[in-house]
Structure 1
């Protein structure tokens, strides 16, 4: 192992990587659980045509809000783990910043409750937040896959490339899709977003556990 990489490995705290990685996975689980549970409390909700935003307003908005805030916490934990185990050069640093900004965007989406409550008065920024999510999840895949490939995790790199390609194809489809199927498209993208975060978090958890087992 090159001296620089060996010094990096010795500087990592395994349990920190494990904890942050598990929080990231828990955030993904929270988002998925929220999108499954919340519709049970919303009358006449259609999984195909109604979006996740429709769940984030009204009497039971707390369910989806908690799910979104949980996912945001997972994104921030992933960014912290990536910062601790810095596996790349400037591209990896851009990916860390991208994950942190994604966490902020998800919090704002949960807090604003736009579209879900049919309120479009004042400044409506929901669509711009969606554009930000689309751009930053793709950017994360593009800039972080090289660091994974150059380290001990080449298989994770290919997963990130594949998920990024799916995201790049389906994001414009979602934006152009008719209202009759945009809810389904949004859920597919949500699963891809969770998969992107999960790939990174699994890398960090495995990296932490392997360091722990070595003593």
Structure 2
């Protein structure tokens, strides 16, 4: 029967959500968080004269042992990109969800660039130093992802919307404070901000895990 304006178009089966793919990307998101946390913990002990309260994570990403934290940053970047792929695969909203997908991609790319540039913690002032601008953009991407994905996340469960909005509010209230803190405590505060970003990643990972289980059961 030919399609008309009143006839709903049936999507082919191959466009359906794939629980196996969803579970794989959820595991990637969890792995990225674990890898970054582990790399920071290892570097805290390996890097000489490092004070985890006063020295930032960025300080660990420069110098002889920079590869330790850089590896964790690359894994976390992959986690964010994987979540963006998941969000595109399981599109739960309108324009705001699409904005959230883009924000996750930008967030992931910024994390990767921060690790790759290696212009922090070593007083690098040669060439075009963009670390500060990358951090500003990262903060904006994180906040945008939280708020833009919240409405669509409620389609899986209202608690996800509450958590994402709450995380966005906490982030917006907390992140700017970092730039005004004394250097004696900015290291531990940066770790706190990292934990806030984990809430976004793990909330989305749980959301998509639940979605995959629902699809697998039907």
Is residue 168 of structure 2 the alignment partner of residue 164 of structure 1? yes
Q: Please report how far the alpha carbon of residue 209 of structure 1 lies from its aligned counterpart in structure 2 after TM superposition.
A: 2.1
Larger Rg: 2
Whole-angstrom CA distance in 2 between matches of 1:112 and 1:154? 39
Instruction: Give the unaligned 5+ runs of structure 2.
Output: 1-7
- Spell out the pairing of 1:188-207 with structure 2 (5 A cutoff): 188-207=192-211
Deviations 1:144-195 (A, max 9, x none): 101112x122111111111111101110111211111111111001011111
Structure 2 residue 124 is matched with structure 1 residue 119: yes
TM-score, length of structure 2 as denominator length: 0.91
Corresponding position of 1:88: 93
Deviation at 1:17, TM superposition (A): 1.1
Unaligned runs of 5+ in 1: none
Over the residues paired in the alignment, what is the CA RMSD in angstroms?
1.9
The answer to whether 1:155 aligns with 2:163 is no
> Which residue is equivalent to 1:97?
102
Aligned to 2:50: 45
Aligned residues of 1:50 and 1:182 also touching (Cα < 8 A): yes
Q: Secondary structure at the match of 2:126?
A: coil
The answer to whether the 8 A contact 1:22-1:205 is kept is: no
Question: Which of 1 and 2 has higher RCO (CA within 8 Å, sep 6+)?
Answer: 1
Corresponding residue of 2:212: 208
Q: Which residue does 1:138 correspond to in 2?
A: 143
Q: Deviations over 1:89-147 (max 9, x none)?
A: 00000000110011111111001111222222111100001001111100111111011
Instruction: Please give the alpha-carbon distance, in whole angstroms, between the structure 2 residues aligned to 1:160 and 1:152.
Output: 13
Aligned residues: 209
Counterpart CA distance in 1 for 2:211 and 2:78 is 21
Moved over 4 A (4+): none
Question: Where does residue 66 of structure 2 map in the other structure?
Answer: 61
- CA distance in 2 between counterparts of 1:108 and 1:116 reads 15
Question: TM-score when scaled to structure 1?
Answer: 0.92
Residues 34, 67 of structure 1: 8 Å contact kept? yes
Native 8 Å contact 2:54 2:184 kept in 1: yes
- Select which of 73, 76, 81 maps to 1:71: 76
Secondary structure at 1:74 match in 2? helix
Q: In structure 2, what is the Cα distance between the partners aligned to 1:191 and 1:41?
A: 22
The structure carrying a bigger helix percent of its residues is 1
- Contact 1:69 1:110 (C-alpha < 8 Å) held by counterparts: yes
